Amino acid sequence: MTDLDDSFDDDALDNAIAVVGMSGAFPGAEDINQYWDHIVHGRCLVSELSDHDLINAGVPPQLIENPNYVKRSGILDKVDCFDAEFFGYGRDEAETIDPQQRLFLEHAWKALESAGYRPREIQEPVGVFAGCGWNRYAIHNLDFDLSSFGVSDFQKMLNNDKDFLATRVAYKLNLKGPALDIQTACSTSLVTIQTGMLSLLTYQCDMAICGGVCVNIPHGGGYLYSEGLIMSKDGYCRPFSPNANGTVFSEGVGVVVLKRYEDALEQGDSILAVIRGAAVNNDGADKVGYTAPSVSGQADVIELALQLANLSPSDLDYIETHGTGTKLGDPIEMSALERVFGSNADKHIGLGTLKANIGHLDAAAGVASFIKAVCVAKTKVIPPNLYAQDSKPEYHGEGPFYFTASAIELNSKQNVNVGVSSFGVGGTNAHIIVSSPPPVEHDRPSNSAILPLLYSAKSEYSLREIQKKTDQYIVGRLDAAEGCVNTLLNHRTPFEFRTHSVLDVGDAEHSDGRIVPSGRVQKAIDAPKNAFMFSGQGSQFHRMGCELYEADGRYRDYLDQCIQAMQSDLANEVKQALLGTDYSDRRILDTQIAQLCLFTLEYSLARTLMDYGIKPDVLIGHSLGEFSAACIANVFSLADAVTIVSERGRLMASTDEGAMVAVLAPRSKIEPLLFGSLAVSVENSPLNTVISGTAEDVQSLEHTLKTEKLAGVKLATRFPFHSRFMEPILEAFRSVFAGITLRPPEIPIVCCTAVDGSAASETEPFVNAEYWVQHLRKEVNFHQGVQRLIDQYAVDNLIEIGPGDALINFVRTITLDRVNLIQTLPGAKMSANGLELFVSSMAQLWCTGVNVDFAKAGLVGSSAVVDLPTYQFQRTPFWRNEKSAAAFSQTNAPTFPPVNTTSFAEEVEEQDAYKEIRDVWERYIQKPEYSDDDSYFDLGGHSLNGVQLIGELNKRYNQNVEISDFFDQPTFNHLLKAYGITTAANGEEPVQAAPHPASAAEADIHQLQYHGTNQPSKIWMQESLVAKWILARLYGPSRMTIRRILERIIFKLEGGELFSVTVRKLYKKFYDMDIGHYTAGCFDKGNFKPGTTIGRYSSITPTARFETADHPSTTVSSSGLFYRESFGFSDGMDIPRTKIVIGNDVFIGHNATLVYPCSKVGDGAIIGAGTIVNFDVPPYAIVGGSPAMIIRYRFPKAKIEALLESRWWENDLEQLYPARGEFMKPVSGSRIR
């Protein structure tokens, strides 16, 4: 073996493998950074479970009371959640996929992002090597009909069998290397890494995704201790301790990305660690039993790994042991280690085991240990062993091992070598050796102190989460700032929803840098259309654009070219005005200097943006700005444009003096007030009209404006431009064009000057010198120009080229069209940094879909990939409890008197067939918005679900539509025809009844709508529903389906009498919800116990969104809306209809919590039902101006029976809400379906 003397030897790394990406989630840790922080600080993440927790997890009370029941477990958060839409799954399919496979899929995406690769875009073959734990979701939550094994059962089998874990990832991420499922019990995920290595070294793939996952179901419970088994008696795992009495099972997911070491170096990958060698073997029969470990098997696999790594045992610095804490396993593992490493008085090899921190992760245990080992090698820190002080004396014998109770840093070592062991029940052993990554050579940093951080996601929620986490991560890591820019721009998949932040790495007041997040979210489109808007005179100021000149070489070159084209005296003056520090601010107000400065800045800015990929599709200019636009469109050469602008400014300054005033009112309101020399010179917008005239007349007009209570602002100019005052210089200006060649614009220009009394059109006037001469005299109608620009060119982005946002403000009052307004430089009165605003403007344009070349802009000075926070999925509950109804019926629940009402199933049968087919169709597609002629496959459906869809409809309508016919024409309209339905056109149209006198109930709603500001919402629940809702919380979740109907009441007051018109609409979807995820609470008012409940988001109320400084909020306006809901359980129990009437606005906070308070019980307690439509909910909400608590509470059985016996609802509803019985009746006599 070769002793590497603590240094890298490239020859010894010929068969090495680089770890280039990792992702994982473990108890108490949602990512690798949190995970390592817990480990290095020696925290135990196995949770103590209260009886309340266990009851909510569905553990039977009699089991909880068993003295051998251990109330501890390692619990992974939100295993019921999944971002189905991100991966293109519909709800029905997502709910039947093993949660282990869903977790692994999400973290495979994250791991590739961590490695700096865009999933689905990798051209090289990528292998997937994966394993998962025992699938208990299918056993506990799903029903299989094994007698017939139909399409639905086949789909469930595909979604749950271990055989489809790796291939699911390969399919969803478009990976074309080997895809292998590996199962070796506890060593599974470490074996996947060794298998992936072999595939890389034999060139079957160029990148390998390896790892494992384990989720325990039922989720959130403890376990029953049995003497003689491997489980800990007290719920603590204490490996190598005299107090060790077994292990604790836990949950987690870990995924790593591997590449050949030489390829990773050559391609500039970020290397987290280097795998030097790996080995796998089996014990065979050399042990006391099938499940027992073997000293020789473990020793042999470690020796083989060392040989393959070309290392001697003494080269190791740390070993992450299997360390289960069992009385049989620990001594055998220690004996195997001593056989390999021998005796050595130098205690230089640290021992540790992850299971003391998080428990045993079964199939994910190996990869969890491997990730820990990578962190040890990378950081050169040996974390503490939780029970080091308790380790057995015999483990401190002659071997070279030690246990540490605190973290030890090995910074003096250039390279740290770490061994990782994982041994599976059944005898498959694995050992891998990893070493520290090579030193990182930092790329040349960017010249810019301002950098863009670009974010995109598939949803606004995910986008905000990515931005928040990444911004927080980057602050304080300025040495990697350029790599962060590169990673976000070039190594993340660009999605539709986009935003950005700006990072100032040179902020003097913030040594860790300053990040300014954009509060705006854009939806990017393909090839958005851009318009450049060039500012006119009046926006200029001293040193405008100077920060950009200092930082951007291209802008500097263009600006220097402009100045070089000027006469020397003007050139010096303009340069001082733009860049000088001791220049008089008043000099830049000189008309000639002002116009030359503005033209120079605008030309340079436009050319710079165009070089960076921001190409204008159309141009528009305000007064002087039209000359800048013409030069950019190549109507004038740069030299000719400088001459024209210079002479224009000189001549305009020679005219008679006067004044101009901008009036904040429409033209029609101003013109009757004009007299004498006064005339309209500029119409900027519907609310901004500029008047010119003599100083005296303008002053008189100002007095008139005050009398009329109209706002007017006098402009800082001595010359009334675009008026008859310009007529004396027209001939002189005409002569300037002698010898100047005018060319048709290469980019369309929308002109704003009426040369003939009406707006000029298209390109013809720009090649005519007379147009430019009359441009001095004629009125500027920017208002009409912008309107024409938007109408004719349908632009998406209006970019102001010039200092400030004057034109943007005009546009805001001209059009309400959805157009993005982009400011590029600050104005005179803005304190913003010019470079910061310029970089932000390019980032904003990227957010709209413009392909900005940030590298050419000098804003990507590094090719390094930084391990930034990865994609933040919008994970919502997708949980199926098909067996819960049967379980519910087998409990000792009280019986209920029969309810004389129509069953839910019968109600559904009464719906139009059109609506029924619509409901079934939408359960199998993935896109909520679609046309009825869109293809089923384009909407995310696939063939297997298509078979299920047709099978369900054939069974319902007793028909035999062929699946091949549907696949030939897979549209909703064709589906209707196949089943003989012809009423599609009317199926979704609102039904409006004739006006009728308002009932007492409707009059009450009208009062609430217009006068009631603090009236609480009301929910009515009948006996059976209340009872079964409560018992569902007691005895286990059941399934509920809701069909929503919305009726809107429109009120009209005629002749003192109130009339109402009912507009009725059936909402299309079935909302399948898990009652187990909802809260019904009975609690004393003085004993509030806030908790969190989660439900599926299903909003049908009109919403208006606004933002505050802290976070977004939403107001749901529900005045005059009736909600009629029908409930049904999946086992066919009849549930009466429930009616919810909301009579006033409901405030919903940042976490989108909606609570309907119910009735009170005689003893002062409350029955409440809460619908939670997002995560991380606060412990309260505001309903009708009053607080309503969200409670999770277990009802004692005796209390429920007493409540049901008392029939409290019969009396209390009448006492609480007298004369409200009419709310229970159908509005307008229509039957509620």
Using CB atoms within 10 A of its CB, is residue 189 exposed (0-12), middle (13-18) or buried (19+)? buried
Torsion of CA 461, 466, 469, 474, to 10 degrees: -150
CA dist., res. 918 & res. 1127, Å (int): 19
Considering the candidates 107, 219, 360, 722, report the single residue annotated as catalytic: 360
DSSP-derived 3-state class of residue 255: strand
d(CA 383, CA 387): 12
Helix ranges, 310-345 (H): 329-341
Choosing from 38, 107, 322, 431, which is the catalytic residue? 322
Tell me which residue of 190, 159, 165, 196 sits closest to 178, measured CA to CA.
196
- Rounded CA separation 811/787 (Å): 9
Beta carbons of 457 and 500 less than 8 angstroms apart: no
- Written as one string, the DSSP assignment of 188-201 is HHHHHHHHHHHHHH
Question: Could you tell me if 36 and 343 are in contact, meaning their C-beta atoms sit under 8 angstroms apart?
Answer: no
**631 given a catalytic annotation:** no
Q: How far apart are CA 1226 and CA 1219, in angstroms?
A: 16
Q: Nearest-CA neighbor of 280 among 400, 197, 379? A: 197
* β-pairing verdict for 1146-1148 and 1057-1074: unpaired
Say which of 186, 237, 375, 631 is annotated catalytic: 186
Residue 1154 CA to its chain's centroid (Å): 22
Q: What's the CA gap between 262 and 1, in Å, rounded?
A: 22
Cβ burial 587-602 (10 Å sphere, 16+ → b, else e): ebbbbbbbbbbbbbbb
Q: What is the DSSP annotation of 833-896?
A: -HHHHHHHHHHHHHHHT----TTTTT-----------------EE----TTHHHHHHTS-PPP-
Is the preceding omega at residue 218 within 30 degrees of 0, hence cis?
yes
Angle between helices 625-632 and 591-611 (to 10 degrees): 40
- CA 652/CA 649 separation, integer angstroms: 5
**Rounded distance between C-alpha atoms, residue 294 and residue 740, angstroms:** 94
3-state helix, strand, coil in the chain (%, to 5): 35, 20, 40
Show the beta-strand stretches assigned E in 120-204. 126-132, 179-181
Number of helices (H) and strands (E), helices first, in the chain?
40, 47
> Distance between CA atoms of 990 and 23, rounded to whole angstroms?
49
Question: Is the distance from CB of 20 to CB of 124 less than 8 angstroms?
Answer: no
Using alpha carbons, list the distances in angstroms from residue 1004 to 632, 1040, 1064, 1120, 1138. 65, 31, 19, 10, 20
Report the chain's terminal Cα–Cα distance, integer Å: 81
Is 210 designated active site? no
Verify whether residue 360 is a known catalytic residue.
yes
Handedness of CA 929, 933, 937, 941 (dihedral sign): positive
Q: How far apart are CA 837 and CA 839, in angstroms?
A: 6
Give the DSSP letter string of 654-719.
Answer: TSPP-EEEEESS-HHHHGGG--TT-EEEEEEETTEEEEEE-HHHHHHHHHHHHHTT--EEE-S-SS
Strand duo 17-25 + 252-260: pairing: antiparallel
- For 1044, other C-beta atoms within 10 Å of its C-beta total 17
Q: How far apart are CA 360 and CA 244, in angstroms?
A: 14
Q: How far is CA 839 from CA 845, 856, 938, in A?
A: 10, 13, 38
* Catalytic sites, residue numbers: 186, 322, 360
